[in-house]
Amino acid sequence: MKKVDSHVLASWLDNTLQAARFKDYCPNGMQVEGRSEVGHIITGVTASEALLRTAVERGADAVLVHHGWMWRNEDRRVIGTRRTRMALALKNDLNLYAYHLPLDAHPTLGNNAQLARVLGLTPARRDDGSPQTCGQDNLVWLGDATGVQTLGELGARVAERLGRQPLVVGDPDQPVSRVAWCTGGAQGMLADAVDAGVSAYITGEVSESTVHLARETGVGFIAAGHHATERYGAQALGQAVAEHFGIKVEFVDLDNPA
């Protein structure tokens, strides 16, 4: 089996995702150092106990995820579920690589880019070919929903392609032209999307205040699920790793209704 040095892999991931340019809520990159060589990676959305156990059962050397560990303002004690997860990784010599905002933002492998592909959204482009964006760290993408005329049609497309019924706030018959999207828990960026002049905004989660803002501005709002909107970046990144290094990479989709 072909293998790559674990730190060479970390460096390639860091450089590919430009991890150093983000001020994030967690450390990006290698979060746990395991065995020195990696020939088999399990990718997923979150480094949960279930994903780690799957990696151990399948004989993987590393886990690569969007949601890792050591989040800002968390209890830093190694107790409870944190102890269980860390013990699993350390006992089985697993490397853990995690990329949060860098994986959201990447122009081709990222969650926003991949959600656009899945939902048939066409990103608006700047003169240099980069996506037009707004919001914190330019995380909200702007573009058009090709082939969609109304908010109801957009909600139906999201349901069909993501395999879950989204929450749709707004008149189903209201016209949809320019749209914005940001995967995961980006409901707080609805105001940025409103300021950008869109007619609809797609993200993963919803807050109580989000509904009022959507209704009062007339911008259609779709909460399509945090997990559901962020399944695709990890898959794309894993495929890129497999192609670049020639190693085995498997994506594991553990159901999460949130």
CB-CB contact of 122 with 144 (8 Å): yes
Structure-block tokens of residue 115: 């959600």
Judge whether 66 is annotated as a binding position. Answer: yes
CB-CB contact of 109 with 16 (8 Å): yes
State the burial class of residue 217 (Cβ atoms within 10 Å of its Cβ: 0-12, 13-18, 19+). Answer: middle
Handedness of CA 206, 115, 255, 65 (dihedral sign): negative
**Residue length of the chain:** 258
End-to-end alpha-carbon separation of the chain, Å?
37
CB-CB contact of 140 with 133 (8 Å): yes
Q: Tell me, rounded to whole angstroms, the distance of Cα 113 from its chain centroid.
A: 10
Judge whether 57 is annotated as a binding position. Answer: no
Could you count the other beta carbons within 10 Å of the beta carbon of residue 212?
A: 11
CB-CB contact of 100 with 88 (8 Å): no
CB-CB contact of 97 with 103 (8 Å): no
Judge whether 230 is annotated as a binding position. Answer: yes
Judge whether 67 is annotated as a binding position. Answer: yes
Mark the binding-site residues for a divalent metal cation, compressed into ranges.
66-67, 104, 226, 230
Mark the binding-site residues, compressed into ranges.
66-67, 104, 226, 230
